[in-house]
Amino acid sequence: MPNHKKYNTPKIKKSKGVQLLTTIWLVPFIAMTIALWLAYQYYSKIGPTIEINFKENAGLIANQSQLKLRNVNIGMVTKISLSKDGEGVTVQVKVNKEVSKYLNEKAKFWIVHADVGSHGVSGLDTILSGSYIELYGVKEKKRKLKFVGLDKPYIDKDAAGKYYILSAPNSNNIVEGSHVYYRMIEVGRVERVAISPDGKKVNFTIFVKEKYVPFINYESQFYTNSSFSLDFSKGKLDMNIASVSQLVHGGISIYTPLQSIGKEHNRTKQRHVFTLYKSLSEMKAKHLRQNFDDIVYAFKFSETTNKLEIGSPVEFNGFQVGYVTDIKSHFSNTSHNIQSEVYALIHTQIFSSSKDEKGNHTIEKLVKKGLKASIKSTIPIIGSDYINLIFKKKKKATIIKTKKYDYFPTIQKSISSNLLDDTQKLIQKLEKLPLKNLLLSANKLLKENNAPIKNLLKDLRKTTNNLNKLVKNFNKSASNLNKLTRKKSFQNLPTELSQTMQELTITLQKIQMLSSDYGADSKFASELSLTLRELAITAESMGRISLKLEKKPNALILGDD
């Protein structure tokens, strides 16, 4: 029999039970532990999901739009849907856990989005990042998960600063977010723009930072910054274009007299209302305003009102006390003329001497004493019209009250028959105008024409003296003309000559109307005097320019060096 070789074979020990802890299970166990730890870290940082109801969605996108607090991302919009009643939208936001303490009754939410309009652009930071929800909140223990969003940014009355209320007839292109400046330094912003409850004006709520509050008091004045301004006073051309920030946002500037800064009694109280003027030039005009006890009066005029505009001032003794709000004109079958009904808002409390007396009662007393309204021109022929309140004691009148408006008594422009006296007064006023200064300034500008200009001045003086003599002779001639017209032979003059005399009379009457506006107290005299003075200075500046060009013709291109 063959011999079988014996081989060494491994001995396998059979397991008698189930073994759970083996090396092969160690790897998935470690992986599962890490996953659970990461999941815990993730869910431990996630806060609750809140619901915010808005009237409409303004660019919010689910899983993209952020919830921000002090410009820090604190949550994400997860779902946007219509509200149950269908009158708004419900936005669900997943909020970070550390912000949970801000979710209480004091929490306020609103949507920040880009708004492009004729007034400019607001919400510029959302153009690239998209719309987001802003949160204002204070830490409290009680928590709330459902909120109603605001239509406009929330105003924090406890912020480090102070809020002021301004008022104007219209918005002047000021919007929420516009900047507020003091000496061209940004000191605050416009928080709210809204129409007043009575619909007569627009109210503005502005916020000024705390460190700039001492510079605002009862004597402060506010005006709208102009995007472009041009000034040609004192013979110098001054052109100013607003900064890009003002062009985009708009702005309001504050002017406070230096002598009023630092006085304790000048500090403003809450609910005090300031006037917002539409420009710096309007702010510089003369105004009388104590408070906003305003009444709209109606004025009836049978003369032309084509130069009277909405916004034209109502003045008393040179001070503005109101402005025109509406003008309605129609044809009258009785007078065969155009009649106008003008409505103007007047700050009635200006005329009251005490706080207890109502301004409209004071105006009624003044009307009984002769206060009436008439249409005047700033500069005759070329100037705009305004309503002037003046006293005419000879004509008594009262305010006619109706259900809608109180009608203010008016007077029309009258034609005076004393033409010769008015003409002589006009000539005397023209003699007093600073024509000599204007001619002397022109003399410096045109040195080569010294002799002709001197001769012209001499001739002008002689002509003025001769004109005075002519007026005196004309007075004598007028009396002789009256005697001549009384004779019977004058009645036999040709019909053409009679018509010519009538037309001449009408022409002289029109000249008298024009001369009545050239009195010593008229705006024309003061404004013409100022214009001639500025023209003289301008002529002097032009003279220096002409001399420079004579010496160096290419100075405008290469400069003065």
Q: What is the DSSP string of 104-169?
A: STT-EEEEE--EEETTEEE-TTHHHH--EEEEE----SS---EEE-BSSPPP-TTSSEEEEEEEES
- Range with lowest mean pLDDT among 232-246, 339-353, 391-405: 232-246
Q: Which residue has the higher pLDDT, 521 or 160?
A: 160
The highest-confidence range among 300-304, 517-521, 538-542, by mean pLDDT, is 300-304
CA 438 to centroid of chain Cα atoms: 37
Instruction: Extract the tokens encoding 345.
Output: 């808002």
pTM attached to this predicted model: 0.51
Name the band, by pLDDT with cuts 50, 70 and 90, for residue 508. low
Cβ burial, residue 466 (10 Å; 0-12/13-18/19+): exposed
Q: Is residue 51 predicted with pLDDT exceeding 90? A: yes
> Which uninterrupted H or E stretch holds 251?
strand 251-255
Whether 302 has a pLDDT exceeding 60, the answer reads yes
Say whether pLDDT at 13 is over 90.
no
User: Which residues, listed in sequence order, are joined to residue 374 by a DSSP beta bridge?
Assistant: 388
The pLDDT of residue 222: 93
Q: How close are the terminal C-alpha atoms of the chain, in Å?
A: 135
Tell me the C-alpha distance between 144 and 443, whole Å: 83
Once rounded to an integer, what is the mean pLDDT over residues 378-382?
A: 61
175-212 tens-digit pLDDT? 888 889 998 888 998 988 989 888 878 999 999 999 99
**CA distances, 445 to each of 43, 318, 508, 540 (Å):** 86, 37, 39, 6
Query: pLDDT exceeding 70 applies to what percent of the chain?
Result: 59
Structure tokens at 148: 């109603």
Report how far residue 75's alpha carbon sits from residue 67's, in angstroms, rounded to the nearest whole number: 5
Per-residue confidence band for 123, with pLDDT thresholds at 50, 70 and 90:
low
DSSP state letters, 180-230: EEETTEEEEEEEEEEE-TTSSSEEEEEEEEGGGGGG--TT-EEEEPPSEEE
Cβ–Cβ under 8 Å, residues 249 and 178: yes
pLDDT band with cut points at 50, 70 and 90 for residue 485: low
Q: Does residue 119 have a pLDDT over 50? A: no
- Does 408 or 158 have the greater pLDDT score? 408
In the predicted model, what is the mean pLDDT of residues 259-276? 77
Which of 40-54, 235-249, 491-505 is predicted most confidently?
40-54
User: Where is mean pLDDT largest: 195-199, 455-459, 466-470, 507-511?
Assistant: 195-199
Nearest to 409 by CA among 420, 417, 401, 398: 398
Using the predicted structure, report yes or no on whether residue 296 has a pLDDT greater than 60.
yes
Q: Which amino acid is at 271?
A: R
CA angle 211–216–221, rounded 5-degree value? 140
Residue matched to tokens 């239509």: 151
Q: What percent of the chain has pLDDT over 90?
A: 12
Q: Is the pLDDT of residue 415 over 50?
A: no
Does 65 score more than 80 pLDDT? yes
239 pLDDT tier (thresholds 50, 70, 90): low
Residue 126 has pLDDT above 80, yes or no: no
Q: Which residues of 135-166 are buried (b: 16+ CB within 10 A; e: fewer)?
A: bbbeeeeeeeeebebbeebeeeeeeebbbbbb
Higher-pLDDT residue of 491, 509: 509
CA–CA separation, 223 and 166 (whole Å)? 10
| pLDDT at residue 92, as a whole number | 93
Can you give the C-alpha Rg of the chain in angstroms?
Answer: 41
Q: How many residues are listed for the chain in this entry? A: 561
**What pLDDT was estimated at residue 89?**
93
Q: For residues 249 and 93, which has the higher predicted lDDT (pLDDT)?
A: 93
pLDDT at 524 over 50: yes
pLDDT value of position 67: 92
Question: Would you place residue 143 in the very low, low, confident or very high pLDDT band (cuts 50, 70, 90)?
Answer: confident
**pLDDT at 160 exceeding the cut of 60:** yes
- State the chain's mean pLDDT as an integer: 75
At residue 439, the pLDDT reads 60
Q: What pLDDT score was predicted for residue 411?
A: 87
pLDDT of 168 over the 80 cut: yes
Residue 109 has pLDDT above 90, yes or no: yes
CB 111 within 8 A of CB 133: yes
Asked whether residue 341 carries a pLDDT value surpassing 70, the answer given is yes
Confidence band for 297, pLDDT divided at 50, 70 and 90: very high
Q: Are 347 and 359 in contact (CB under 8 A)?
A: yes
**Where are the alpha helices (H) located in 384-522, listed in sequence order?**
419-432, 435-445, 450-486, 488-491, 495-516
211 vs 281, residue with greater confidence: 211
Per-residue pLDDT, 416: 43
Q: Which of 26, 165, 145 is nearest to 90 (CA)?
A: 145
Highest mean pLDDT among 44-58, 260-274, 435-449: 44-58
90 pLDDT higher than 90: yes
Token pair, residue 493, equals: 């003059």
